[in-house]
Structure 1
Amino acid sequence: MPNCLRGIAASLTLLVAGLGLPSQAEAYRLPQLNFSESEKAMVAEEAFGVHRREAIAVDAVFSRSQMLNWEQHRTRNLSQKEKKAVQTWKRLASKLEYWTYVAGLKKVLLEISRTPSPAIDREADRLAKRVVDTLYELSHEYRIVGTPRLQNVLIKLGIRRKGYCYHYTDALRQVLHLEPWYFYAFHWAEAYGGTRRESNSLAITFKESPFETGVVIDAWRSGSRPFWHAVKDDHWPWKEAFDVLPQE
């Protein structure tokens, strides 16, 4: 049985807590974002830089920690500037988080490429966006409410349909199959195969590079949030099960 199916009994108490606090459970999911066409057309580094500069400017007026403290205690009335800053933070925070994921994954994808070029940069940008976008969508499709093991319990009880490790892997495989990829290859990665600890994830390598040089996208481990780790450095002993897409 895959590792991502374990821990059922240990999570029962979390299940009770999660079902009893629906607002907190929903807050665990990744936000649904609406981007303009111009925003989506921006390369990851540019978009991250724009949102980060705006965050720095707002932080100088009313820091995010101040806002969170105020929302928790509501001990005073805010000035008009502070009210505007709060609204800006609410609009900005989720987008900054998204672009942090995209820019971070793109950076890793470029690091595993052998000969960086403008064409590889464009494909890495597109690939990073596609992976992160898909995981944001799956967070809602799978109706994630908490930790991976809590999601497993909900599936076992019939309250949720999906959210196991191989669900994420297969969903990413299907999405990536819809587009041409000239520089990157995709693999079904498996750790502890054939044992009760078995786990699955998508691995990305530069084409014709060894599997061990790639990066695993293990969204189950992070409860649908974008998470990646170098194959060779992860504490899970990943091995290639098969190519997700045929090599061209």
Structure 2
Amino acid sequence: MIDRRTFTFGLLALAPLAGCSSTAEVTRAAVSEPSIDGLTRALIALDPSVAPEEAARAARISHEYAADLRVKYQVTDPPLVHNYKVNSGMRPRGICVHWADDIESRLRQERFRTLYIHRAISPPRTSFHISHSAPILSARGQTMFEGIVIDGWREGGNLVWAPVSNDPDYNWRPRAEVLGKIAERRAEQQARLTE
């Protein structure tokens, strides 16, 4: 979450960019075979119990579905500009929670037996940083902190993946933990307003 002043300032700074590519053709993001292979290897390396076939399937689906969502969401801009377009009604979907929901849902359809899908949120670190959502894949029995972030939003359909512990851009936490803290803060603010 981001406060209104910071969001408004950010939008004003990005607004000139929105018009530059608003008529650009939406194309499927490039699917990188080396990235698919790398993610497959990283998933297999999580634990000896991970089935190589499942790892390969999860890696391919994650990359290809993120590329498909780029077209579905009509992404023609950098992520923050696209967020602005979604929040102002110019695009139907495409903020990070949409990417996370849709990729997680697609991966769950596979009913993996050796991989587990977690959901995480990275809370804001500074006033200019917004919270961010993404699914995480781990071996069954592992925590999300041992897994790999699967992020379609960060590069607008070009899948970004990284071990949770080595993701330089985000501080991933369990979704329930972050949402619980947000609910607590809102309750405290509401209590102060009614005093």
> Which of 194, 219, 239 in structure 1 is aligned with 2:173?
239
Alignment match, 1:12: 15
Distance 1:177 1:140 in 2: 21
> Which of 203, 212, 217 in structure 1 is aligned with 2:136?
203
Distance 2:110 2:162 in 1: 24
Are 2:156 and 1:223 equivalent residues in the alignment? yes
Distance 1:240 1:116 in 2: 23
Cα deviation code 1:97-129 (max 9, x no counterpart) = 4322321221221122x2167xx1111111111
Distance 2:146 2:48 in 1: 14
Give percent identity, aligned residues only.
23
The answer for unaligned runs of 5 or more in structure 1 is: 32-93, 243-248
Distance 2:88 2:144 in 1: 36
Cα deviation code 1:126-155 (max 9, x no counterpart) = 111111121111010001102001111211
Secondary structure of the residue that 1:202 maps to in structure 2?
Answer: strand
Distance 1:215 1:166 in 2: 17
For the 8 Å contact 1:136–1:225, the answer to whether it is kept is: yes
More helix by share: 1
Alignment match, 2:190: none
* Greater than 3 Å deviation, 4+ residue runs: none
CA drift at 1:191? 0.8
CA drift at 1:211? 1.8
Alignment match, 1:109: 43
Are 2:53 and 1:122 equivalent residues in the alignment? yes
Please tell me whether Structure 1 or Structure 2 has the larger radius of gyration of its CA atoms. Answer: 1
Secondary structure of the residue that 2:69 maps to in structure 1?
Answer: helix
For the 8 Å contact 2:76–2:82, the answer to whether it is kept is: yes
Secondary structure of the residue that 1:220 maps to in structure 2?
Answer: coil
> Which of 97, 107, 117 in structure 2 is aligned with 1:166?
97
CA drift at 1:2? 5.8
For the 8 Å contact 1:186–1:202, the answer to whether it is kept is: yes
| AA partner of residue 199 (structure 1) | H
Alignment match, 2:28: 30
- Aligned pairs (5 A) from 1:88-107: 97-107=31-41
Number of residue pairs aligned between Structure 1 and Structure 2: 169
CA drift at 1:205? 0.8
Distance 2:130 2:78 in 1: 17
CA drift at 1:197? 2.6
For the 8 Å contact 1:191–1:238, the answer to whether it is kept is: yes
CA shift in 2, pair 1:151/1:212, >3 Å: same
The answer for unaligned runs of 5 or more in structure 2 is: 177-195
Alignment match, 2:73: 142
Secondary structure of the residue that 1:222 maps to in structure 2?
Answer: coil
Given the two structures, how large is their TM-score scaled by the length of structure 1? Answer: 0.62
